[in-house]
Structures are given as C-alpha cells and as structure tokens.
Amino acid sequence: MKFKVMWRLRTKRRNAVIILLAIVTLLLMYPYPRHCPYFNLTCKSELYNLMWETYGKEWSTLVPPPGLECTTEYVNANRLQQDHPCVIKLIRSRYLYQPSLPDVSLNLSRPLVADPSSGQSKVVLAHLHNQIGGFFVECGAFDGEEGSNSLFMERQLKWNGILIEPDRKSFGKLLSKRRHAWALPVCLSTEPFPTKVSFESDYQAGKIYRQDNEKQMKLEAERLKKYGIGLIDVQCFPFYSILLAVGRTQVDYFSLDVEGAESQVLANVPWHLVDVKTLTVEITSQNQTVLNQVANHMMANGYDNKELMKGQGFYDLVFVKRG
C-alpha cells in the first residue's frame, strides 16, 4: 500500500513537471515577438513575426490562401505575420494606389523648383553616385511635393518608388500631383504586425499616438481639439509588408519622417530580408539618447552613420549600407 501511494505521488509530480515544461515550451514558441521597451533599441526582438518563424520553412504548404475573412479587422485582431498572404492581399486590394502612367505629366504647384527637399536628396545621391532609375520609399510624404525628399530623383533621374502618407488631407493632395509612384494612405507600423492607431491629423506634422491608456487618450483628444487638431484612426502596416505588396525588397533610398515613431518602425524591420542602400531618418527630438539609440540600432544592422543633417526644426541621420 505504501509503495502504491508513493508511486502515485511520484506520478503526479512527474505529470506536473511535464505540464510545466509544456507550458514553458509553448511560451517560447509563441509566434508573436517579445517586445522591447518603448524607445529602447538596445533590446533586440528575438522574432520579427514572419511566416517561417511561426510555421517553419514549409509554411506555404500549411497556410491556406486568403479567404473571405481577410479583412482589416481580421489582420489586426489576429496580429498576422508581416508576410502573411492575407496582409499582402489586403494592402494590394484596399490601400495601394497605382503610379501614374509614364506619359502622364506631374501636376505640381511649383514646377520650377527642381529640388524641394532640405538637402536630403543631394546628400543621398552623392552616396549613390547620382544613380539613375533607382527606387525610393518616402514615409511622411506630405502632399507629394512640398519638402519632398524623392521628387527630384523622380523628375530628374527617372526614379520610381512608394509614397506613404496617413494624413487624409495631405494624401488627397498627394494623389492630385500625379506622381509616378505607388501611394498608400497608411502609416508604418510600430509593431511587427498590422495595427490601427490614433493619429494626430495635423496636416504637415501628423504623428502616431500610443493607445496604452484610453482615459489619457480621451484627455489628449480634448486638448488637441482646442487647437483645431483631431485624432483619427489610421491603419498601419509593417514596412516589409508594404514592400512585398509591390513585389520589391531592394530599395535605394528610404526616407523616414514619422514625427517621433522612428525608433519603433526601424526596430521591426527584418533587415536581413531587405536591401536598403541608404536612409535618412528625421529625428524631431534633440535628445542625444534617442539619436544614439537609432544610430546604434542601424549600425548593428550593417549601416554606417555618415552624418547628422541639421535644419530648421529637424535633424536627419544619414545611413549608408556597408559594402
């Protein structure tokens, strides 16, 4: 009898240990990334939330093609992987605007201004040896003309690319310019999956607001309303998802101007899967810690920090990929 009691106790303990190990294993295999603290780029995410990270190298044979459930609400609620077929399909069908045809003339307000940037295009082109026929991604594209870091490249050097602008009023004006580039009225995600955020619709200086505290968000909305600034819901997609949607992972110039969310956007880019030759990253804060964090993160991912451009109200870090 004593032996049976001891055997049962040992069996229960053994089962408890097995269950505990199973729970730990599931937590370690959980498909979504372990997030780094806000603005802490020294903490490196172990996962980028990619299909092969979740399902293995043969994921394409395991995941069915997108069905009727492939909606914005579905991809957000399920935090789908950056390269999930449903995410790519949704971007292409609902958010991606085609470039103007090559024989369509630009509709510019100031056509005699050759380069409306604040010097970014000149600096980048110097590193690219005035490359012809390159590809850009400009996030924070505003109206597609004023302050554009990519317009000179498109007009003078036959570049094309992607223009990203979440502010609705600005995006409407951007489309009216008839740029020869893809255009999306979205923001770049600060998470490694699609998400909807509150966005400060302030025309030229809109920015993402974190939604950690609903009460705080309501108070902030009331405060901004006094200044005629509204908070709107905007859909965000990862940078990698948007590249896949246009069928391109090689980028010659990436211009990032997202009014404070630069760190989080860059932290969730799978740099080992994309080939971005040059970047300019606008840092609105003069905080040296933020500058160092962004610079250290990019250098850890194979980029040289070439210079810090200082202008009226902005700082642009310039990065060039090694090799």
For the segment 64-87, what is each residue's pLDDT rounded down to a tens digit? 999 999 999 999 999 999 999 999
8 Å CB contact between 75 and 81: no
Q: Read off the pLDDT of residues 109-134 as tens digits, 9 standing for 90 and up.
A: 999 999 999 999 999 999 999 999 99
Q: Within the chain, what is the greatest distance between any pair of CA atoms? A: 98
pTM: 0.81
Please give the average per-residue pLDDT across 21-46, as a whole number: 41
Q: Write down the CATH number for the domain with range 72-321.
A: 3.40.50.150
- List of residues 6+ apart from 93 with CB closer than 8 A: none
Tell me: pLDDT of 224 over 80: no
Tell me: pLDDT of 24 over 60: no
Tell me: pLDDT of 97 over 50: yes
Q: Is 146 left (phi over 0), alpha (psi -120 to 50) or beta?
A: beta
CA distances to 107, 116, 153, 181 from 135, in Å: 21, 18, 9, 9
Pairwise pLDDT comparison (286 vs 45), residue with the higher score:
286
